[in-house]
Amino acid sequence: MVVFPSHSPLPTRGFEFQTALINSSSRAYFNKINTNLISILSMAKNNKGRNSKRPQSIKQEEEIADMEDLFSEGDTRKIRASLLDWYDENQRDLPWRRRATTKSGNGKDNKQEEDEKRAYGVWVSEVMLQQTRVQTVIDYYNRWMQKWPTLHHLSQASLEEVNEMWAGLGYYRRARFLLEGARMIVAGGSKFPNTVSALRKVPGIGDYTAGAIASIAFKQVVPVVDGNVVRVLARLKAISANPKDKHTVKNFWKLAAQLVDPSRPGDFNQSLMELGATLCTPLNPSCTTCPVSSQCRALGNSTNDESVMVTDYPMKVVKAKQRNDFSTVCVVEISDASQNRSQQTKSNSRFLLVKRPDEGLLAGLWEFPCVTLDEEADLSMRRKLIDQLLKKSFKLDPPKNCSIISRELVGEFVHVFTHIRRKIYVEFLVLRLKGGMHDLFKEDGIKTMDWKLLDRESVSSMGLTSAVRKVHSMVQKFKQNGSSSNSIRSRKKPKHT
């Protein structure tokens, strides 16, 4: 049986966890703005261990201290002007920032068509950029746009094609939502949604992406708040509250909405994000070249008090602990029984791939047969589980209907998902079918699972997740070298079964 993991819940936040979120420099800032708050904090600190929950009064004080005001009118004007000037001079040349041009039709239609093309490009790029670096995204974006230059082209793609194109970017749900969203908009027969509220109805489009599309493509005066914007705003206003807290998040949206420039909303939003991505970076902000350093409170605090650093803002949030699990993957190569071993060539070998369920982690993606476990299992247990899977799902039942030519442990590696640290054991099993390939795979029972047999070249060229690609390349190296180079354990050749 294949066990698919679910995400582990976030840890409960007790008093100690909250205390860990308040660093010493932030407390120095509190001291400047509210001495009462510090007294309350010290009292609470002295009670550490006795109180399991943070007193409500402290939480409220922190929020009041952090959210005391918006930007002044003067600061707002200066920040807008300085950021836009800086952006005009320094923005990176990125493919999704280039305006699409249309060749035919009257001016009005062209304008709408251009805006919609822009909206589509912004949407694709913003979804790709979530959790992925700009340099990596550029190539994916260009290939995507070449294959599906408009929303209509994308709406006609299959999920498999989209997953293939996305392979290596991770978080595959994002790709599926893009496809579902494109189909929904096209099926609706209307134009591309151009307001935040209409965009929010499209699958996978959240507040951030809606704000980005509406402001950049359709010039709507709406804000965006992503990780870069949070960092810049937290520093500009020296906000010490937990940036993940829903009240603080709301405050960031308010501040961003106040700043957005009514005449160039899209450019302003991009300038704020660009500043966070290039100058106001998490660890090494370039304050000396920053266009808004005069309005930056974190820099002011840091200049006045050497115990404060601008990097103290925003507060560092302790990440949820990753869950460990284990997976045993069996790369099954099937040889045709109609030829003996000396006659076999590479071309008559096929690899068995199975499709994951449509829901859950890596939904709908192809992989080699595998079993996922909550606990570590030894080799014999792992083989037993794989044998059960092959028998139940594919009627592969040696020695009854197939014989084992070889079975080797290839190696192991660790793959990290967002909340899961998975140790993956890789085994390579070569089978010869007694009744021939077609007879066995005709059986009804195996139609309950999507699977396919592919030759090595087809496996190499298909879009696979990075973990599955790693498994495939480990097996290919193993076949070339005749032994594993990935695991100490695998150097000890196991007995064939």
Binding residues vs ligand SF4 (CB under 6 A): 232, 235-236, 279-280, 285-287, 290, 292-293, 296, 298-299, 310
Closer CB to ligand SF4, 230 or 331, in the complex: 230
136 within 8 A of 341, measured Cβ to Cβ? no
| Residue placing its CB nearer to ligand SF4 in the complex, 248 or 293 | 293
Structure tokens at 22: 């308040």
Considering the complex, state which of residue 127 and residue 292 has its C-beta at the smaller distance from ligand SF4. Answer: 292
**Distance of closest approach, residue 135 Cβ to ligand SF4, in angstroms:** 22
User: Which residue, 5, 50, 26, 6, is CA-closest to 317?
Assistant: 26
Q: How far is the CB of 81 from ligand SF4 (least distance, A)?
A: 15
Q: How far is the CB of 364 from ligand SF4 (least distance, A)?
A: 41
Q: How far is the CB of 471 from ligand SF4 (least distance, A)?
A: 43
Closer to ligand SF4 by CB, 248 or 295: give it.
Answer: 295
| Closer residue to ligand SF4, CB minimum distance, 228 or 335 | 228
Q: Which is nearer to ligand SF4, 299 or 315 (CB)?
A: 299
Our CB check for ligand SF4 shows the closer of 276 and 463 to be: 276
Record the tokens describing residue 63, joined without a space: 């929020």
Kindly provide the residue ranges of all beta strands, DSSP E only, lying in 135-256, ordered along the sequence: none
Burial class (CB in 10 A: 0-12, 13-18, 19+), 53: exposed
126 labelled catalytic: yes
Q: Could you tell me the smallest distance in angstroms from the CB atom of residue 1 to ligand SF4? A: 52
Q: Which of 472, 465, 458 is nearest to 332 (CA)?
A: 472
Contact status, residue 211 vs residue 222, Cβ threshold 8 Å? yes
Least Å distance, CB 90 to ligand SF4, is 13
What torsion do the CA atoms of 78, 69, 287, 29 make, to the nearest 10 degrees? Answer: 150
Residue of 113, 116, 126, 427 marked active site = 126
- What are the CA-CA distances from residue 300 to residues 31, 102, 242, 272, 284 (Å)? 15, 48, 21, 20, 17
Please state the separation of Cα 114 from the chain's center in Å: 29
| Alpha-carbon span 367 to 370, nearest angstrom | 8
Could you give the count of Cα atoms lying within 13 Å of 93 in the half-sphere of its Cβ?
A: 0
Q: Pairing between strand 370-373 and 323-335? A: antiparallel
Least Å from the CB of residue 235 to ligand SF4: 4
Q: What's the Cα-to-Cα distance from 428 to each of 144, 407, 478, rounded to whole Å? A: 34, 6, 9
DSSP states of 265-317: HHHHHHHHHHHHHHTS-SS---GGG-TTGGG-HHHHHHHH-TT--GGG-SPPP
Find the shortest distance in angstroms from Cβ 290 to ligand SF4: 3
Cβ neighbours of residue 132 under 8 Å, at least 6 residues apart? 169, 170
Rank residues 255 and 373 by Cβ distance to ligand SF4 and give the closer one: 255
Q: Give 156 or 286: the residue with its C-beta nearer to ligand SF4.
A: 286
Strands 420-433 and 323-335: parallel
Residue 351 · residue 311 · CB < 8 Å: no
Distance CA 439, CA 31 (A): 79
Q: Which residue has the tokens 């805006």?
A: 115
Residue 482 backbone zone (phi > 0: left; psi -120 to 50: alpha; other: beta): left
Residues marked active site are found at 126
